[in-house]
Amino acid sequence: MNSTTQESPVISAVIPAYNESQGIKEAITHIAGILSACESAWEIIVVDDGSRDQTYQQICQLSEADPRIKGIALSRNFGKEAAMLAGLEFATGEAVIILDADLQHPPSFILK
């Protein structure tokens, strides 16, 4: 599969994030690597829940490098549930996986 083709994603990963500038790039890169091993089209949707740090700017940088990575910026902190819902509404994959930005739930389970 060519990663530059614009296929409809089979897997959508939704990541709610709040003030995660210290680790968001690493988390997204790690999750993208695992999704790439799935051999299915995928997208990552990171929902910035009104962060006061550089979380959204980092998401935008990653999105410019890989259009499968998408960012949503909420106008203020609405809470994790609202951020998850925004990501679910935006997701286009046949299956959606919600992951924490701090990698609390090991992304390696995606392969299973």
Rounded-to-10 torsion of CA 77, 92, 69, 96: 70
- What pTM, to 2 d.p., does this model score? 0.91
Mind listing the pLDDT tens digit for each residue in 53-68?
A: 999 999 999 999 999 9
If we measure between CA atoms, which residue out of 77, 1, 60 comes closest to residue 25? Answer: 60
Mind listing the pLDDT tens digit for each residue in 103-112?
A: 998 999 988 8
- Examine the pLDDT at 7 and tell me if it is beyond 90: no
Eight-state DSSP code of residue 101:
T
Q: Residue 76 carries which side chain, given as an amino acid letter?
A: R
Mind listing the pLDDT tens digit for each residue in 61-97?
A: 999 999 999 999 999 999 999 999 999 999 999 999 9
Instruction: Look at strands 95-98 and 69-73 and give their pairing.
Output: unpaired
- Phi and psi, residue 14, nearest 5°: -110, 125
